[in-house]
Structure 1
Amino acid sequence: MGDKPPGFRGSQSWIGCVEASLCLAHFGGPQGRLCHVPRGAGLQGELERLYSHFTSGGGPVMVGGDADAQSKALLGVCLGPGTEAYVLILDPHYWGTPKHPSELQAARRVGWQEVSTAFDPNSFYNLCLTRPNKNQHTLD
Structure 2
Amino acid sequence: MGDKPPGFQGSRSWIGCVEASLCLDYFGGPQGRLCHVPRGAGLHRELERLYSHFAGGGGPVMVGGDADAQSKALLGVCLGPGTEAYVLVLDPHCWGALNNPSELQAAGWVGWREASMAFDPNSFYNLCLTTCNSEKQQHALD
1:57 corresponds to which residue?
57
What RMSD over aligned residues (CA atoms) do the two structures have, in Å? 1.3
Residue 75 of structure 2 corresponds to 75
2:16 corresponds to 1:16: yes
Which string of whole-angstrom CA distances, capped at 9 and with x for unpartnered residues, describes residues 1-21 of structure 1? 111111111111000100000
Q: Which runs of 4+ in 1 moved over 6 A?
A: none
> C-alpha displacement at 1:98, in angstroms?
3.1
Q: Following the alignment from structure 2 to structure 1, what is the Cα–Cα distance between the partners of residues 101 and 29? A: 28
Unaligned runs of 5+ in 2: none
Structure 1 residue matching 2:134: 3-state secondary structure? coil
The percent identity for this pair of structures is 82
Gaps of 5+ in 1: none
Residues 1-140 of structure 1 correspond to what in structure 2 (within 5 A)? 1-98=1-98, 101-135=101-135, 136=137
TM-score normalised by L of structure 1:
0.92
Q: How many angstroms does 1:81 deviate by?
A: 0.2
TM-score by length of 2: 0.91
2 CA distance for matches of 1:99 and 1:134?
30
The superposition leaves residues 98-139 of structure 1 with CA deviations (integer Å, 9 ceiling, x where unpaired) of 3554342233210100000011111111000000113136xx
Higher helix share: 2
Aligned length: 137
Once the two structures are TM-superposed, the CA of residue 73 in structure 1 deviates from its matched residue by 0.5
Q: Distance in 2 between matches of 1:71 and 1:34?
A: 15
Q: Which moved more, 1:80-89 or 1:102-111?
A: 102-111
